[in-house]
Each structure stands twice: as C-alpha cells, then as structure tokens.
Amino acid sequence: DAKTTQPPSMDCAEGRAANLPCNHSTISGNEYVYWYRQIHSQGPQYIIHGLKNNETNEMASLIITEDRKSSTLILPHATLRDTAVYYCIVRPYSGNTPLVFGKGTRLSVIA
C-alpha cells in the first residue's frame, strides 16, 4: 500500500501557483519524498525529490514540514500543459527499493 495520502483532484487557474499537498505521517528517517506526474496516458515523469530541506528545480518547488509528516509540491505558474495526475511517493534512501504509486492527485489547470 502507498504510504502517502493525497486529495483525488484539484483545480488551478492558468498562471496561478498550484499547491499540491501530500500527507506522509508514517515516513521514516531514511525515506525521501518523491514527486512524479503522469500526463494523460504517457509514462510518469520525475519532478523533484527531497529529504527534509526545501528543494527547487526548473519544474517545481518542494516544501517539507519540519516534522516531515507532510509536504507540498508547488508549480509556481501553472499552464494548461501541467494538467496531469501528480504522485507523491516515499522511498528509502538505500538500495534499489522500487517506487510505490498511489492514486495521486488529478490537477486540472483551467484557462
């Protein structure tokens, strides 16, 4: 079973920031938080990951609470092409542990 909880769907106006929450209250000290997204029927695409510090890359920002029990993925200026299902995944640091996908959040960006 997925170790994360996400809302099933969210809407966001084009050009506005999209804030996608994720609850991972049982996260262990050696587990990272990963975010992937899946646009329509394509294969999932990696977005970002983090351990305890906030992270930013060209696609998004990841804010992890101090207790690491939840996080928020931020798309700063959502576009129509960001409409997708977003998956929040926790994974141990070491070894080749595969990703476990839940149902994710379906983000609809509206013009």
- Chain contacts with another protein (rule: CB under 8 A): 2, 32, 36, 41-46, 49, 51, 87, 91-96, 98-104
Q: How far is the CB of 14 from another protein (least distance, A)?
A: 25
Token pair in block for residue 99: 């990703």
**Pick 30 or 77: Cβ nearer another protein:** 30
Choice between 17 and 100, CB closer to another protein:
100
CB of 25 to another protein, least distance (A): 19
| SS3 state of residue 22 | strand
- One DSSP character per residue, 25-86 reads TT--TTEEEEEEEE-TTSPPEEEEEESSS-EE-SS-EEEE-TTSSEEEEEETT--GGG-EEE
CB of 16 to another protein, least distance (A): 26
In this complex, which beta carbon is closest to another protein, that of residue 15 or of residue 92?
A: 92
Q: Are strands 70-75 and 84-92 parallel, antiparallel or unpaired?
A: unpaired
Q: How far is the CB of 15 from another protein (least distance, A)?
A: 28
Q: Which is nearer to another protein, 66 or 95 (CB)?
A: 95
